[in-house]
Amino acid sequence: MVFFEVVEGSTRLLVPREDKLSKKNPVFYNPVMELNRDLSVVLCRILEPKSFCDLLAGSGARGVRVAKEAGVEVTLNDMNPRAVELIKKNASLNKVKVSVESMDALALLGGGRFDFIDVDPFGPPVRFVESALQALTGRGFLGVCATDTSALCGSYPRACVRKYDALSLRTDFYSEAGLRILLGFIARSALRNELGVRFLFSHSTMHYMRTYLQVDTRNSAVRETGKKVSFMQYCRKCLDRRYRSLNELEAECSCGGELSTFGPLWNGVYADKELCGMMKETLGSGEFNSKAQSARLIETVSAEQDETTPFFDMHKLCSKLGKPVPKMDSLQRTLESRGFKFRRTHFSDVGFRTDAEAKEVNCILSSL
Ligand SMILES: C[S@@+](CC[C@H](N)C(=O)[O-])C[C@H]1O[C@@H](n2cnc3c(N)ncnc32)[C@H](O)[C@@H]1O
């Protein structure tokens, strides 16, 4: 293996030089994931967990950074012995004391408890989520990443049923639908263990989806979490979308179109606005290569929490209406002048969120 040095945050990392990124690489390191490693460091600085477990550590980039840049006690684990060698090199390059394990992740989770566990697998995180939830201390934190977005977003609905126990659907807001199915899966895993969850920050970026959450053992939190998991009904004719519980499901949309049902999925907020403010501050005062991009992401995700109905795709709406696409500003002005909310979304540059129903949005767009 040939290595070269990169710097993420204030951490020096030896990483393998590869022509092509693949899970078959002797040790896996993906430079484009730096943004979410920056966010992990930011969150650890704010949340101050006593212990952090980088469960599937690869080169050790995340865990070594959390140890060095947030001063947290870290355990890094990878069942690949070559990864473990590199983790040890990276820890000593940065003069941080960490525990390094080379176990199957599930075995490690069965034997220890941590304040913060990060689950960053190849593909779906499903087989690690429940064990990770069980290995958290009382009000612990969990980070979860999924890269099998085609299953979650509706391209492979049967794969989604198999892995996430949920039906996915190709919609004009497919990335949000996918993220909400992932969050719904995590929430249902927590509920099976009498845990409630609070999603602290979640996003869909490039080829992956990621969330950070806190568990809560109180009965009230468990009850609240249960209320936030439902189904969604979508009309391909007018693009109406709404969350519905099983006993509220309908066959036909008010426009006469047929309704498609998918889920279960998370219908609540997927980030905590107050925490987002703290994340922006911490990010601004630190040394992070993704600073500008992360700050934009945090700001947009924070504003999005004002409306939980999935975003509309302006191009899809206009192509259905056979109308040219208007300027986003003029749509915003018209929606707001009629008392509706308008928010941009991190999921899409041509997307917007509003509390107006599809028929109202269609009517406004027709008049522009
Ligand atoms: C996507 S990579 C991790 C990347 C790393 N977290 C980072 O930020 O660069 C997934 C890692 O999980 C390891 N892995 C896969 N299955 C495992 C298991 N069951 N137990 C322990 N490690 C496992 C692989 O060897 C690989 O290094």
The per-residue pLDDT for range 53-94, each reduced to its tens digit, is 999 999 999 999 999 999 999 999 999 999 999 999 999 999
Domain-embedded: residue 12: no
Is the same domain home to 249 and 338?
A: no
Largest CA distance in the chain: 66
> Which pTM was predicted?
0.97
Domain stop point among 304, 335, 359: 304
- Specify whether the CB–CB gap between 332 and 293 falls below 8 A: no
Do 295 and 318 fall within a single domain?
A: no
The CATH number for 218's domain is 3.40.50.150
260 CA to centre of ligand 1 in angstroms: 36
The answer on 349 and 224 residing in a single domain is no
Mutate to test the pocket of ligand 1, among 79, 85, 100, 101 (most ligand atoms within 8 A of CB): 79
Domain count of the chain?
A: 2
Kindly state whether residue 18 falls inside one of the protein's structural domains. Answer: no
Report the pocket of ligand 1 as residue ranges, CB < 6 Å.
Answer: 28-29, 33, 37, 56-59, 61-62, 77-80, 83, 104-105, 120-122
Determine what percent of the chain is predicted with pLDDT higher than 70.
Answer: 100
The edge-to-edge listing of strands for the beta sheet with 99-101 is 99-101, 73-77, 51-54, 114-119, 136-146, 208-216, 196-205
pLDDT digits (tens, 9 = 90+) for 264-279: 999 999 999 999 999 9
**pLDDT-derived band at 298, boundaries 50, 70, 90:** very high
Question: What is the domain-level CATH number for residue 333?
Answer: 3.30.56.70
- Domain span at residue 139 reads 32-304
Q: Report pLDDT digits (tens) over 91-150.
A: 999 999 999 999 999 999 999 899 999 999 999 999 999 999 999 999 999 999 999 999
Assess if residue 22 is contained within a domain: no
In a domain, 150, yes or no: yes
- Arithmetic mean of pLDDT over the chain: 96
Mutate which of 11, 35, 56, 103 for ligand 1? The one with the most ligand atoms within 8 Å of its CB, which is 56
